[in-house]
């Protein structure tokens, strides 16, 4: 079962595998993972293989992103959606989407657009959003808040997350009918402790073939 995993900002294309390796290795018994690269490279003193990336930026002149402030622009969002659409077309179909942080917000937008009838984004069977939030700016939040999203969803977030406060993730979860939430005591990361792994596998088991 293929699962597409959009990276988060400001991690690189390679980071989701390292960040959540215990989870990925456990799931690999049931699922295969593909991780399309974020569209834009952010400025930073990193070697090419570690270059930080973002799906889109919230300022016109700086390659930065803030999830908690109303952006002046959503620069690069069109390209980000194009990257995801291309991955879905060329590498899909996918049974599920897994997104972390900005990648979770993007995955939610993709599903909202798909539910609204955008042919570029066929709805997956499920979605997993870790440290997600309702994106702001240029109608993005409205696209998520317009109506409930009807696909099965698992929402994971930390009680002490200082990057994406838990109330942001709760708000995003409220936009999905029958949303399942999994919390942990930590911050901004994909938890891989036994309780969370059990919750992931319980959720995913219903889709295993």
Catalytic residue among 4, 39, 161, 184: 161
Confirm whether 155 is a catalytic residue: no
Cβ 149 vs Cβ 121: under 8 Å: no
Confirm whether 28 is a catalytic residue: no
Distance between CA 93 and CA 143 in Å, rounded? 23
Cβ 169 vs Cβ 99: under 8 Å: no
Count of CB atoms situated within 10 Å of the CB of 194: 9
Q: Regarding beta strands 96-100 and 53-54, do their DSSP bridges make them parallel or antiparallel, or are they unpaired?
A: unpaired
Catalytic residue among 101, 131, 153, 169: 101
Catalytic residue among 143, 166, 174, 188: 188
Query: Which residue, among 100, 118, 110, 103, has the nearest Cα to 190 in the 3D structure?
Result: 100
Q: Which helix (H) or strand (E) holds 33?
A: strand 32-34
Confirm whether 188 is a catalytic residue: yes
Q: Catalytic amino acids?
A: 101, 161, 188
């Amino acid at each position: 079962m293929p699962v597409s995993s959009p990276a988060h900002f400001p991690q690189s294309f390679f980071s989701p595998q390292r960040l959540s390796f215990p989870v990925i290795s456990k799931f690999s018994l049931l699922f295969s993972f593909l991780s399309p690269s974020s569209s834009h490279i952010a400025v930073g003193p990193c070697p090419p293989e570690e270059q930080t990336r973002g799906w889109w930026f919230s300022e016109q002149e700086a390659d930065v992103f803030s999830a908690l402030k109303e952006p002046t622009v959503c620069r690069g969002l069109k390209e980000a959606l194009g990257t995801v659409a291309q991955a879905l077309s060329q590498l899909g179909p996918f049974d599920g989407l897994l997104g972390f942080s900005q990648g979770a917000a993007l995955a939610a937008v993709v599903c909202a657009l798909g539910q609204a009838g955008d042919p570029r984004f066929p709805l997956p069977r499920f979605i997993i959003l870790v440290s997600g939030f309702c994106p702001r700016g240029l109608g993005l939040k409205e696209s998520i808040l317009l109506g409930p999203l009807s696909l099965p969803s698992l929402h994971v977030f930390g009680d002490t997350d200082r990057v994406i406060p838990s109330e942001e993730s709760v708000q995003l979860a409220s936009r999905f009918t029958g949303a399942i939430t999994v919390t942990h005591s930590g911050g901004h990361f994909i938890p891989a402790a036994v309780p969370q792994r059990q919750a992931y596998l319980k959720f995913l088991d219903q889709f295993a073939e």
